[in-house]
Structures are given as C-alpha cells and as structure tokens.
Amino acid sequence: MESFKITKIRGPHKTTEEDLLTEEVPLKLMAGYKCIATLICSPMDLEDLVRGFLLTSGLVRKPEDIGKIVLNRATWIAYIYLNGGNEPNLPDSGWVIGTSCGAGAFRFFDRPDQKPGRIPESFSDFRINRLLIKKLMADFKKRSFIHKKTGGVHSAALADRRGIIIFREDIGRHNAVDKVIGRYVLENHDFEDKILVTSGRISSEVLLKMQRFRLPLMISRSAPTNRSVYLAREMGLTLVGFARGDRMNVYSAEDRIIV
C-alpha cells in the first residue's frame, strides 16, 4: 500500500487528506530467454502467483516440474527454472495479462488436450452445510485487510470443513486464485475435499482453473457469468454466488449444499 494526498469532496465540503492505495506492478515471467507472460499484479506472494499461474494455465502439468523461481524486485522479473530443462517448450508469447480477466490462461485451455471434463463421480459424496458457508464468508471478510484499507483488491481463499486454510489478496481476482493454489501445492496436492472462496465474479477462466485441480465447490460474494454456469453444470461443479449472511444463490450441483 502507498499513501497519497488527495482531495475529498463530501457535498459542499472539500478537504485534503491522506489516502491508502493498493500497489500494482508488471511482473515479467522469463523462462530461459523467453518472456512467456507479463502479469499485472499486486507485489506480494509473487512466488505463489507464478507457481499457480504456471499450473492453472497448463504451462506445466505438476508442481514437481517447477525447479526454482527467482524474483528480482528491482526489475520485477521472475526467472523460472523447470526441472528437466523444459524451458524451451514454453511459449515465447510476451502476453500482458491484466487484472480483469485471464485471457492468456484461457488460450491455453483452448488447446484440445486442455478441454475440461466432468469431475469424478466420487465427488458426489462431498457435502457442506449452509451454516459452514456463512461462517467461512464471515471469516473471509475479516481477513480482507488490504481491501478494508484500500478497496482496491480481490481476495481468494482455500478452505475445508474446518475453516480457511490459505488466504491471499491481489488486484486481479484470477491472480488471487493463482496465489492460493500456488501456495497450497507446496504442502498438499489433494484438492478434492476443498472449497475455493473468492470475492470476485465467477467467470469461465476462474472456473477452468478450479476444474484443473478438481475443486468441487466455489463460493463468491459476487455473481457468476452465464458461461461459468454452463461449464459448472457440464463438469459437475457447485457454484454458490451472492453468499452474504444467510442468503446465497446456488447455480449448479445444488445437492452438495445441505440446508
């Protein structure tokens, strides 16, 4: 966060005050001599972001493929070293991926080998109570420290039936999701009984990130898009939107929510 002097106008009154703004940086991802992408992001938890982006966009298939990530905060470059020397296989795209959508990642899902499928039928046993959703969203809101100070970031969390496991914030809603996944894969590869929580709208590229890791359920304070609902129904994922207090909308696989 950075402090700026600004002018505040409230009706006929004008004052000069200090205001906190969230930071934004362009993080260039370099693999070998290639710039594979530039992520417009918040400057914290960047290793989590890079790892999550590589995995959720399909650039690498498993966490063990990533040997090392070296960050240079003076130049905002992340140097990526893959195990087995596979850097030449990464695309030399230089795409700038902004904060509004994961367009770069979405291109990777357009490849025939990245098409989404249904999650395993065993996921049908996964259930959570609406009271747990209420509790998770209350905790989620309390943790959103940077958002409370600036109003300029999105939040994401990974949770289970006991509560929130990992929480991250970023100016990009898909970046926040990548940070959560990028951190959790260091500790555990099992997402099948986990819940993804987000503050942003649920759009198709976020849903595809979720499906890649077989996350059965996503909860948001915001709305889904029509495409995300079509995909969720096709893949057997549960989408919960507008989760605020005792109110929520369930758009797909509603049997997972116990009232």
> What would the CATH number be for the domain defined by 25-114?
3.10.20.10
Per-residue tokens: 70: 């070296």
Residue 251 has pLDDT above 90, yes or no: yes
User: What pLDDT digit, counting tens, does each position of 134-179 carry?
Assistant: 999 999 999 988 888 888 889 999 999 999 999 999 999 899 999 9
Range 102-124 average pLDDT: 50
Please give the DSSP secondary-structure letter assigned to residue 9: E
Residues assigned a catalytic role: 101
User: What pLDDT digit, counting tens, does each position of 188-230 carry?
Assistant: 778 888 999 999 888 888 888 888 888 899 999 999 999 999 9
Q: Percentage of residues in the chain with pLDDT exceeding 70?
A: 85
Beta carbons of 224 and 241 less than 8 angstroms apart: yes
Parse the chain into domains and list their residue ranges.
25-114, 121-258
Backbone angles phi, psi at 71, to 5 degrees: -100, 135
The class level of CATH for 121-258 reads alpha beta
